[in-house]
Amino acid sequence: MAFIQVVLLVLIRQVLSDTSSDYTTQCPARCDMLKEVDTLRGEMQVLRQLLNQESLLRMSLDQQVQSQKMIIQNMENDLDVLNRTTEIENLRQLLNQESLQRISSNQKLKNELDVLNRKTEDARSALSQRDNGTIAFTVSTSSALSNHNNRRIIYDKVLTNSGNAYNNITGIFTCPAPGNYVFTWSTMSRSSSEYCYAYIYHNNTQLLMSHGYGGSYNEVASNTIVLLLSVGDMVWIQTGTCRYNYGYPYTAFSGWKI
């Protein structure tokens, strides 16, 4: 409004100054002036309308700018979210790589530990074998063998069984470590023809024999063998005909690693 008033004033002044020379002398001049004022009024009206339109236009433009700004803001927000998502994705990949590296280095450590554990176990086993001395046993039968024919002798009385290679239930020695072994056994047959044959077996092979034949007195018989054994090889004593053989402490079966 102020702007319009100023324009109006300026225009009026202009008209007044342009016509000031004729103002006091002629009516037609004054009348013209009045007409011109009317014209000006009309123009002012037009101007006012124009101004109204212009402010409407400005308002609409303002609104458009405002909504455009909001769109941009939204896009920026979206971009921000997108950036964050990308950042999170990058971080996740980084973490994945790191945890993969960690897993692989853990695996390496675990493998090293396994190797160390195995070495320790081997060393302990070697040490225990050495500390226990050689594999060695001496066993006997707690009672006499009477008519014990063609059967394995179960020496049930265990005096020594270092390394536990002799089984007191089956009567079989099972080789736990490869090498040379000495085996010796003895029988004592009762007098009056109560003889006893005893063989040593390596797996199913019959090897040396002892033969006691009691005549006027009881008779002791024995034999000794050295066998080169592999792990799992079995050794035992088995009788042929054995009519009467005294038990502990006369009869025995011993073996040891050399």
Ligand X SMILES: *[C@@H]1O[C@H](CO)[C@@H](O)[C@H](O)[C@H]1NC(C)=O
Q: How far apart are CA 215 and CA 217, in angstroms?
A: 5
Which of these ranges, 7-15, 35-43, 72-80, 178-186, lies near ligand X under the rule CB under 6 A? 72-80
Residues from 140 through 159 that contact ligand X (CB under 6 A):
158
Are 133 and 162 in contact by the 8 Å Cβ rule? The answer is: yes
Nearer to ligand X by Cβ, of 43 and 87: the residue is: 87
**Residue 122 is a binding residue for ligand X (CB under 6 A):** no
Rounded-to-10 torsion of CA 41, 43, 45, 49: -170
Shortest Å distance, C-beta 92 to ligand X: 17
Indicate the residue among 66 and 86 with the shorter CB distance to ligand X: 86
The closest alpha carbon to 81, from 94, 73, 70, 95, belongs to: 73
- Cβ atoms < 10 Å from Cβ of 181: 24
Given 17, 24, 25, 128, the residue binding ligand X (CB under 6 A): 128
Quote the DSSP letter at residue 74.
Answer: H
CA distance 135 to 255: 8
Q: How many residues in the shown chain lie near ligand X by CB under 6 A?
A: 14
Please report, to the nearest 10 degrees, the dihedral formed by the alpha carbons of residues 141, 143, 147, 151 taken in order.
-30
Q: Is 32 in the site for ligand X (CB under 6 A)?
A: no
Interface with ligand X by CB under 6 A: which range of 1-9, 39-47, 190-198, 230-238? 230-238
Residues 157-186 that bind ligand X (CB under 6 A): 158, 163, 168
76 lies in the binding site for ligand X (CB under 6 A): yes
Q: Does 233 bind ligand X (CB under 6 A)?
A: yes
User: Considering beta carbons, is residue 19 or 168 the nearer one to ligand X?
Assistant: 168
Nearer to ligand X, 248 or 250 (CB): 248
Distance CA 105, CA 96 (A): 14
Binding site for ligand X (CB under 6 A): 76, 79-80, 83, 128-129, 132, 158, 163, 168, 203, 232-234
